[in-house]
Structure formats: structure tokens, C-alpha cells
Structure 1
Amino acid sequence: MSLSGVAVITAISGLFLQEIWISCLRRLRVGQVAKWYGPRGHTAKAGTPTMGGVVFLALSILALLLSPNRDIAAKELFGVWGLPWLAAAVGLFDDLLKYMRRSGEGFSSLHKFLWQIVAVLPWVIFLSLNLNISLWPGLHLQPLLVCPLLLFLTVGFLNAVNVTDGLDGLAAGSTAISFAVLLFCFRAPHAMLPAVVGLCAAGSFLWHNAYPARVFMGDVGAHFLGGLLMSATIQSGPIILIVPLGWLFGVEALSVIIQIISLRLWGRRVFRMSPLHHHFELLGWSETHIVVRFWIFHALGMALLFMLAHALFGPLPEVQGVTL
């Protein structure tokens, strides 16, 4: 089946599977528990079905079965899909802990960080040994440098996407924009199917997650999309590509870091609440205005950063792809 056919079937399947999954979640009473320290308006979201990201895993398997390149080697399969699947497993366990405890808290921050390292490390080691990774065009890195750098960036990026998933449609729409850029602008052979899956999964989920959301993706969904975007980016070119493609997620994560440092050192808040989207909520912006404006901010930020990269490094970076 052609890649276009895979995209159509994956998108339509995502719409219907998510509808079925929402019904299952409601019967099982798998609902969001509002955090006591979150914005007051979010108490109305309590009880909304969560763990919608489980459907993303099903869609990735479906797309692989329908893919025109079904005879993919096990090593190549792990190189592309190992990260999103392993990261999603950590997110799923975190969501299940919340469900069993009937709490908004799963793993402690330290435990989640350690589990993320355990999940990401095999993929990082595999890529460092099998992929000629460059930091930016022309600057190739040795495996001993790739491992710590890629581990740091990947774990950080998973958390960045996770903290961005705080408003209806924000993370889903933003990742869909990034996957669309990967799909239509870079067209790297090894990244095409992941980009299709990411775009179709996020887009079909957005149908149900747009305000007012009928389902949340949960940590499993945020970790899957973050892992998939990182994996597809590494397959498309230099590591630095994650800066424009993950522009909004980086800004959101940076707002959290700035807030924590400011509170620890000076006992003062820079933002009314972090991450950044909550700051604008407390300023009185409506949820839909924040989400749409953040999508625009993400798209414009990507465009400007790619223009800057083109001015500094020339044409779009070379395609890498797993070499075994």
C-alpha cells in the first residue's frame, strides 16, 4: 500500500478507535484527577477520560502492517520505533499509577526521570553505534559524545512535550504542525512513516481533544508523540533540527526551569504560574485563544529558525537514516 493510503487509513482509524476507546475509558472510570496546585478553572476537567494516547500505539502498529516496506529489519525497526514505544511504556505506567491511586500524581519527579533514562538509554546506545549522527551539518560526533548529548536532549524533550500537554489541543496541535513540516519539507526515507503516523495520530486525536476536550492523551500519549518526533528528527538530519521542530516545547520547558530557579534563588515568581500557558490563563486569556496563539507562535518560530539555519548553514540538512 502507498504511503498516502497508509495515511488515510491511519487517520480514519484514529478517529474511530479513539471514539471506542473513550467509551471504554468511561466504563472503566479512567478519568483525569485535577491537581490541587493547578489553575482553578481546571477543576471542571476532572473526570474527563485520560490515557487516550494508548490509541497512538495501536495506530503505529497498524501503519507498520500496512507500510509498503513491511520487510523492515528488526534493528532498523528498533532504531526508528524503539524510542516512542519505550517512552510510551513509561508514560503508561505513570498513568496507571494515577488511576490506581485515584490521584493526579503518579511517579515522583525523580522516579519518572530515572525510568525515562532506563527507557531511553538502549535506543541512544543503539543509535550511537549504528548512525552517523551530526550536531549540525558537517559536524559529526563520536559515539562517546553522542550518548550523553542525545540522552540529555531526549529525556528533556519527553518532559517538554509532557508539560506542554496542559490545555485542550495544545500538545496535539503543536506536534501535528511539527510532523507536517517533517513530512512535507524533509521527506527523509526513514522518517516518512513516523511522520505520517505522528501527523495522523495527533490530528485524529485533536478531533476529540479540541476544547472542550472529550479525552486527554495522558503521559502515555505525550511520551509517545515526544519520542516519535525526536526519533523522526534524528532520522531526518542533524540533532540541531530538534530546536525549530520542538520550538514551542522548548519554550514551555524553559519557562518551568526559569520559574524554579527564580523561586529557589530569590523566592520570587517570574510567571504567575508555569508552564507558560498557565501564566496566560491567569492573565485572563481564554483557553482557545491561548492554544491557537501558541500554535501560531510555534509555526512562526519554526519558520524563523529554519530561515536562520538556512542563512548560517545553507540548504536544508542532509538526510541521515539508519545505516546498519
Structure 2
Amino acid sequence: MGYLQIGILIVMSFLISATLTYIAIPILQNLKAGQNIREEGPKSHQVKAGTPSMGGLAIIAATIITCLTSRDFSKDMGVILVAFFLFGLLGFLDDYLKVAKRQNLGLRAWQKLVLQIIIAGAVAAYQASVSIYSTSVFIPIINQYWDFGIFYIPFVAFVVVAMVNSVNLTDGLDGLASGVTSLVALFFAIVAVMYGMNAGGAFNSALTGACMGFLMFNKNPAKVFMGDTGSLALGGGLAAAAIIMNMELMLPIVGLIYVLEALSVLIQVVSFKTTGKRVFKMAPLHHHFELCGLKETQVVGLFWLFTLICCVVGLVIL
């Protein structure tokens, strides 16, 4: 796989995603699949109530179609796509229940966690059994592989679950998750070309284009949201591809914004429960910046730039 091919896959997926999103918006509107905005969120977000959600279906479809038409389809890509689809299906069930109940609550937290662990464990078990590195994990900066032994599957499963939920938390502003993820996926596509990892390269190229196509309608003011359908699929797909590429620990480096978003929620909860005080004006982190006076578009642009810098740092490390 070369840079020309990933460029072709990105353009193909972009066109499919943009077309499917354009078609899906009126359909979702007719189905009254509108977004329910949490009451405790920023007041400025209440105007977004009713905006069509579950637009992540277009991202999933565009990515899968592009990958299936790629000449680099293999068993490894099949595993990535299955994980990508299953996490998307989990998110879809969550979104469907929210629409059916007309509230911002879908599946219970423990139900989502159990299902996420099962999918993540299956991907980890597959990689441990087929990879030439077995249970070894690539350690960035020192560029060496360390054997995690019996801790490999639990560790990798944790990485997947953490990634999935971090991307889900990041999806809170127009264009934020789709823009950040397109950059992170592009990073892994480039790395795949550098190291000859065709499955990871094709998937991440397709995911980059799909996110960019969706972003055409998801940028501020958003005409559609990806919902948990999209955010869980993005997190699961990125994590599964990174695992197949033996690049799990590059995720928190290039996807540092995901980590910071999740940490802000964790810190906020722990601080409030132990001291009764809040560290941030509101969590996740993007809401804190909003309440500090930045416009939504400024926060999104800042987070995109930060992610771009992290991706450049990642390439330097490798």
C-alpha cells in the first residue's frame, strides 16, 4: 500500500459518506430521531434539541463499503470491521432507546460496559493468537516490544474500552469528534504505509474519508449528530486497528485530546464526591472552555489544532 492508494480510499469514502449523510438527514428527521440534550449541559446547547442523531450510520456504511472494495481486504481487516460494526451496533441500540424513551438515557452503563469488554476481549484474543509479536506490546519512544504475557488480553481490552468511552465523551460539540478522529485515523493510515500494514492502512484511510464526509454536515451549526452509533464505532474501530497494527500505545499520544476529555470527567467526579468542589466549570473539558468564554467553534478549532500537533509528535516519535 502506498500514499496514492490511501488518497484514493480517502476520497472514495469521503464521497460515499457525504452522499449517505445528505440522504440520511431528512430520513432521520421524518423518523423523529432527534437529539435529546442533557438538562445539566450548557444552556446554549438547548437550541440543538431535535437535531437528527444516529448520523454515525453513514460513517459506518461508508467505511465498510470502502474497505470491502479495497484490494487489501484480509482476515485482519475483517476483524477490525467486525469490531467497528459491533461497537456501532451497540451505540445504535443506545441511541434507539433514547429516541424511543424521548430522554437522554439509553442502555444502562453496566450493560454497555459488559458488551464493550466482550468485544474488546475477543479482538485482544485474536491478536494474541495470530500476531508474530504474540502478547508483546510496542512501547513508543524506546521503540521496543515488551511481553505482557497473561496480562496482555486484559490490558488490550482496557485500552479498547477506554478508547471507546473517551471518544464518546469527546462527541459533545459540532464537528469535534469527527474532526479529531479524521486526524487520528489519518495518522495511523500514514504509519501503516510506513510499516507496510495494509489492513490498518486501508481501514484508517476509509475512516478518515468517512469522518471528513460526515463533517461536511456536522460542522457548526450541525445539521446532524453522529450519536453513540458513530462515537462508539469510531472509538472501537480506531482501537481495533491500532491493536492489529501493534500500535496500541500510540493511541493516548496522538489521541491525547480523548484522554484529556475522559480525565476531566474522572477528576470532576472524584473531586466533587470527596470534597464537594468542582475542578472544572463543567466536564467534559470542552464544556469547561465554553464556560470560560470561548465560542464553540473556537474550542473545536483549538482541539483540532492540538490533535494535529499530537499527530506530528507521534510521527516524530516513530
Q: 1:82 to 1:143 in 2, by over 3 A?
A: farther
- Match of residue 156, structure 2, among 150, 166, 173: 150
Q: What is the CA distance between 1:4 and its match in structure 2?
A: 4.2
| In structure 2, distance between residues paired with 1:77 and 1:297 | 29
Q: What is the CA distance between 1:299 and its match in structure 2?
A: 1.8
Q: What is the CA distance between 1:233 and its match in structure 2?
A: 1.9
Q: Report the number of matched residues.
A: 306
- 1:167 and 2:173 aligned: yes
Of stretches 102-111 and 290-299 in structure 1, the one that deviates more from structure 2 is 102-111
Question: Deviation string for 1:175-233 (max 9, x for gaps)?
Answer: 11111222234423221111111101110011000000000000010011111211222
Q: What is residue 32 of structure 1 aligned with on the other side? A: 35
Q: What is residue 306 of structure 2 aligned with on the other side? A: 297
Q: What is residue 115 of structure 2 aligned with on the other side? A: 115
| In structure 1, distance between residues paired with 2:7 and 2:301 | 28
Q: What is the CA distance between 1:79 and its match in structure 2?
A: 2.8
Q: What is the CA distance between 1:270 and its match in structure 2?
A: 0.2
- Match of residue 65, structure 1, among 65, 68, 73: 68
Task: Report the secondary structure of 2:271's partner residue.
Answer: helix
Q: What is the CA distance between 1:57 and its match in structure 2?
A: 2.1
Q: 1:29 to 1:256 in 2, by over 3 A?
A: same
Q: Do the aligned residues in 2 keep the contact of 1:3 with 1:67 (CA within 8 Å)?
A: no
- Match of residue 270, structure 1, among 274, 279, 289: 279
Q: Normalising by structure 2, what TM-score? A: 0.90
- Match of residue 53, structure 2, among 50, 53, 72: 50
Q: Equivalences for 1:214-293 in 2 at 5 Å?
A: 214-293=223-302
Q: Normalising by structure 1, what TM-score? A: 0.89
| In structure 2, distance between residues paired with 1:305 and 1:256 | 25
Q: What is residue 102 of structure 1 aligned with on the other side? A: 102
| In structure 2, distance between residues paired with 1:117 and 1:185 | 27
Task: Report the secondary structure of 1:140's partner residue.
Answer: strand
Q: Do the aligned residues in 1 keep the contact of 2:120 with 2:156 (CA within 8 Å)?
A: no
Task: Report the secondary structure of 1:139's partner residue.
Answer: strand
- 1:139 and 2:167 aligned: no
- 1:182 and 2:182 aligned: no
Q: What is the CA distance between 1:38 and its match in structure 2?
A: 1.0
Question: Deviation string for 1:213-255 (max 9, x for gaps)?
Answer: 0000000100111112112222334322112221110111111
Q: What is residue 124 of structure 1 aligned with on the other side? A: 124
- Match of residue 24, structure 2, among 6, 13, 21: 21
Identity %: 32
Q: Do the aligned residues in 2 keep the contact of 1:173 with 1:295 (CA within 8 Å)?
A: yes
Q: What is residue 80 of structure 1 aligned with on the other side? A: 80
Q: Do the aligned residues in 1 keep the contact of 2:35 with 2:53 (CA within 8 Å)?
A: yes
Structure 1, unaligned stretches of length 5 or more? 311-315, 317-324
Q: Do the aligned residues in 2 keep the contact of 1:63 with 1:197 (CA within 8 Å)?
A: yes
| In structure 1, distance between residues paired with 2:8 and 2:225 | 27
